[in-house]
Structure 1
Amino acid sequence: MIRLRLYTTLGCHLCGQLEALLATLAAEAYHLEEVEISEDDALVERFGMRIPVLADEAGEELDRGFEAPRLADWLRERGWLDEGAWQALQRQLGGAAEPGSVKGATRRGGRRYLG
């Protein structure tokens, strides 16, 4: 079983996005320990501007894991990526590789416009 730690804080919507992506992309069962950083000044200083931060058992960290390509790469490096789920998610997102890109959005003059 994969053991992961998620540094988070109450109301972190990006943490929720990371958790949903992890549930979709992990190739095997995992245990996710959530660490509330607001209760520890040292954790706030270390992670406050970086959450969500996902860490594996070796302590290797992933910032911005709510961006699907970053999480997929991080999981792939460890042999934990469900490649089929990743391909399906990419199709669902319209092959969007750019973080924050939206299916049906177009760019004109440096601005993004929806469908």
Structure 2
Amino acid sequence: MTHLTLYTTLGCHLCERLEALLASLHEGQYRLEKVEISEDEALMQRFGVRIPVLVDDAGAELDLGFEPQRLANWLAERGRLDEAAWRRLQPGEGESGRGGHDTAGAPARSGGRRYLS
């Protein structure tokens, strides 16, 4: 089982997107520990403008993991990318990436708000 840490804060929509992508793209089981950065000044200084930051058990960090390609590459480097799930998220494959939904399959957002198309 993979152990991952997500540095986040309450209401972070990019963090939610990363979590949804991770649930889709991670091959095998993983445990995700969420660390709330707003409760620790040192964490705020380190991660405040970078969240979400995903960290593996070796300490390797991923910034901008809410971008599907970046997360896919990071997982592939660790041998944890579900290739079939990744192919389904690509434009032109199945229904993903179409119909007003983002690449995580969640309703699209406008101005930070979800809406149904």
Deviation at 1:81, TM superposition (A): 0.2
Cα root mean square deviation, aligned: 1.2
Deviation at 1:93, TM superposition (A): 1.9
- 2:19 corresponds in structure 1 to 19
Q: Which runs of 4+ in 1 moved over 4 A?
A: none
- 1:87 corresponds in structure 2 to 87
Gaps of 5+ in 2: 99-117
- 2:10 corresponds in structure 1 to 10
Structure 2 CA distance for aligned equivalents of residues 37 and 27 of structure 1: 27
2:65 pairs with 1:59: no
Identity of aligned residues (%): 66
Give the secondary structure class of the aligned counterpart of 1:31: strand
Aligned length: 95
Structure 2 CA distance for aligned equivalents of residues 16 and 34 of structure 1: 11
2:82 pairs with 1:69: no
Structure 1 CA distance for aligned equivalents of residues 79 and 60 of structure 2: 14
Largest Rg, 1 or 2: 1
Structure 1 CA distance for aligned equivalents of residues 52 and 22 of structure 2: 12
Gaps of 5+ in 1: 95-115
Structure 2 CA distance for aligned equivalents of residues 74 and 60 of structure 1: 10
- 2:41 corresponds in structure 1 to 41
Deviation at 1:89, TM superposition (A): 0.8
Q: Deviations over 1:54-111 (max 9, x none)?
A: 00001100000000000000000000000000000112226xxxxxxxxxxxxxxxxx
TM-score of the superposition, structure 1-length normalised? 0.80
Give the secondary structure class of the aligned counterpart of 1:66: coil
- 1:50 corresponds in structure 2 to 50
Structure 2 CA distance for aligned equivalents of residues 87 and 93 of structure 1: 11
